[in-house]
A and B are shown apart, each in its own frame.
Chain A
Amino acid sequence: MSSAATEQPTGSATTADAPVTRAEYCAVAVADTFAGDGESIASAFGTIPAIGVRLARLTVAPDLLLTDGEAHFVSGSWEIGADPHATEGVVIEGWSPFRTIFDLVWHGKRHVMMIPVQIDGHGNTNISAIGDYARPKVQLLGVRGAPGNSIYHPTSYWIANHSTRSFVRTVDMVSGVGTDSARAAGPAATAHHDLRRVVTNLAVLDFGGPDGTMRLLSLHPGVTLEEFRAATGCAVHVEDEVPATREPSAEELRLIREVIDPRSLRDREIPA
């Protein structure tokens, strides 16, 4: 097995000239998800989302608040997998212990990208348990902050392995609230409910389909509609023309490859 980290460019080629990888399309699609968010807390889990929010802060959303993964907001940028506090130019700009997180979540200026195990056509997601709830076939993490996040502030999702196991007709335990569930729960649930995007290893989706259903926004280059449909176990609205996920700019590629993820951890999450 090779990784991009061990494939050093040779001759006159530079890293900037290397072909765009699937992981890089994904990272740029994640960054675009946070465009226009202003002084919002961008919370992301997983490698590609972490690259995406840092890329967003360096490009389309410079005012984002990012945490060090512990109890601080930090400015500046640092490599994926590295300690931000050991990086020059990264400074603590605030304290955000768990004790205050729900104040900020419920205040609303936060956009989270969570990683569901299951998602359905209205964006209900599950990170709690698979199978019968009283005696699950598979116990997962628990709902964590998903019910509150999804009802209080913008929420997006990242799915590294788009398949009929992740995209399902019905989720087993609604942890993150979908558009139909929010509507059924009434005005208190819909007031701030704002599902934004779902970025996967195959495609980018939103909830602009009829009745708040999932809509296919773009397929990553190299992915066919047939492949997408075969991997998707729930109904998704597909319009006549489905564009390809946009190409990263040269500057975005440079930032990903040289500044944010020089060790190519992205290729471990999404193999090239």
Chain B
Amino acid sequence: MADKTLTARDVVSRLDSGMIIGIGGWGSRRKPMALVREILRSDLKDLTVVSYGGPDVGLLCAAGKVKKVVFGFVSLDSIALDPHFRAARQKGAVEVAEYDEGMLQWGLYAAGIRLPFLPTRAGLGSDVLKHNPDLKLVQDPYGTERLVAMPPLRLDAALVHMNRADAQGNGQFLGPDPYFDDLYCLAADQAFMSCERIVPTAELSAAGHSATIKINRQLVAGVVETPNGAHFTSCAPDYERDEAFQREYVKAAGDPQAWARFEKRYLSGTEDDYQAAVAARAEEVA
């Protein structure tokens, strides 16, 4: 069987400017941040980002990588709002397609199972329809209701981060929640999965019930081992969210000079440099 092991740089080399990129995780939880940081280092631009948004959206907006955000919310969980996304919106710097979270799931699912739409009540009566004028209603063929026809959210690429994976692309979550990562992979032309550790396949079912092997290898084009790769978001049970670092991120975002210092310290080098800076910071605080 094919070994699909890649580096983060390999993954980004397979992406192009203008692509629609789906990013897994939820809020500030199990985000593929090492892959996001690799995009920050690249010359990619004009991306459309589809996300249950957290700092992935904020960082990509701050770096000028984003043309459009497809979202239901952007939040850092313990801190309600991401300051960079907020600033980008308030400057009118990014386009948006804002959906109810369930509509977002429905759009990914429709793309994944190759349907032209899935019907839902969600969105009816709200300004989601007003601000997404392309959304159409569909007549119930059996009755009289008119429902929202949520179109597929087809992705050029999906990026997700799991606790464990094997080299063939089977992915495992060991925390409480798989989020929508399997749907992102299902909806994408090519899905890339980073993980805390690549292990032999037999170790997956030894580490947890087989139901935790949520992502099937046929959906995955490449696997990247990125230890601490979800930092500073959570990747339970491997690690919790780095709340202190997240506060630093938010504080720095509020001031251009502080943000420049933050970028210099954490985002100017390689992923190894990033992890070293994070470790050094933890030493200082301790």
**Interface residues, chain A, with chain B CB atoms under 8 Å away:** 70-72, 97-99, 102, 105-106, 128-129, 133-148, 150-152, 173-178, 181-182, 184-189, 191-193
Contacts and interface: CB of A to CB of B under 8 A. Distances in A.
Given A139-B85, A144-B101, A106 B177 contact: no
Interface of B: 26, 52-53, 71-75, 80-81, 85-86, 89-92, 98-103, 105-106, 120-128, 130-131, 140, 144-147, 176-180, 182-183
B90 A151 contact: no
Nearest to A175: B126
Contacts of A185: 124-125
Given A141-B81, A147-B122, A98 B72 contact: no
Nearest to B89: A139
Contact of B99 (A97, A143, A184, A188): A143
A141 B98 contact: no
Nearest to A135: B92
A142 B128 CA distance: 10
A141 B54 CA distance: 11
A176 B124 CA distance: 10
B86 A148 contact: no
A138 B52 CA distance: 20
B125 A174 contact: yes
A151 B145 CA distance: 14
Given A97-B178, A193-B125, 19 more contacts: A98-B177, A99-B178, A102-B105, A102-B106, A106-B121, A134-B92, A135-B91, A136-B89, A141-B73, A142-B53, A143-B73, A143-B126, A145-B102, A147-B122, A148-B101, A175-B127, A186-B145, A189-B124, A191-B145
Contacts of A181: 125-126
A128 B75 CA distance: 12
B74 A142 contact: yes
The SS class assigned to the B binding surface is mixed
Nearest to A128: B98
A141 B27 CA distance: 11
B71 A142 contact: yes
Contacts of A134: 92
Contact of B145 (A147, A150, A178, A187): A187
A128 B69 CA distance: 14
A151 B178 contact: no
Contacts of A142: 53, 71-75, 98
Contacts of A102: 101-102, 105-106
A138 B90 contact: yes
Nearest to A187: B145
B103 to A, nearest CB: 7
A181 B183 CA distance: 32
Contacts of B177: 70-71, 97-99
Contacts of B131: 133, 173
